[in-house]
Chain A
Amino acid sequence: MLVLISEDPRVSHRANEAMRIALGVVAGENEVSIVLAGPATHLLDEDTDELVDGDDIAKVRTSLRKLGIPFHVEAASVPTDASWNADAHPVTPIDAGDRRSRDPGVPLHRLLMAGVLHLLKRDASPLAAPVIDAMRRRRKAQ
């Protein structure tokens, strides 16, 4: 499952709610990838007092870090403040402009052995490609 969070935790409780839901799913059997896009990257701000439900955010972040769940973060949206991600939560920067060439000659048996199936709709997020690539690299590293 992929959880894409784009709400601003400085003004909305929805960002924290999404992260809590992701933590709940992690506790089950499903593998979860969390993407922080746009202002949602502030979920990793050091000073959680400035965030809606700040105390809760700190607890959920700690739980996710202990479980080894990284955040995929939109690189262009990462705050320049040096205190960002002061807890050194594992993050994977992604870039919506990242584009690579594709070899069309992939054999069919690879398709049949595929573990993850991504379905791209007409208005698919531009983050799809970099997130797919980040997941691919993570699976290779495992």
Chain B
Amino acid sequence: MTVVLLAGAVAPALAPDITVRRLADGDLDYSALLDLIFEADRVITW
């Protein structure tokens, strides 16, 4: 299970086995985010 923080999102505290990524310089760019979306079985937007 993966959580991606979009622009301006505050990182919630989550269990250690949940991967948290950020859409920002030095982490995900939009192309990489798109790859993640297509790889995922389900995408939930909060």
Contacts and interface: CB of A to CB of B under 8 A. Distances in A.
Chain A's interface size range is 20 to 34
A128 B3 CA distance: 10
A12 B13 CA distance: 34
B17 A1 contact: no
A115 B14 contact: no
A101 to B, nearest CB: 6
Interface in B1-46: 1-21, 36-37, 39-46
Contacts of A1: 42, 44
Contacts of A136: 1, 15, 17-18
Binding site of B, secondary structure by majority: helix, strand, loop or mixed? loop
Interface in A96-142: 99-104, 106, 110-112, 114-122, 124-125, 128-129, 132-133, 135-136, 139
B39 to A, nearest CB: 7
B4 A117 contact: yes
Contacts of B39: 112, 114, 117
A116 B40 CA distance: 6
Contact of B12 (A2, A129, A135): A129
B13 A122 contact: no
A116 B42 CA distance: 5
A102 B20 CA distance: 9
B4 A120 contact: yes
Contacts of B8: 121-122
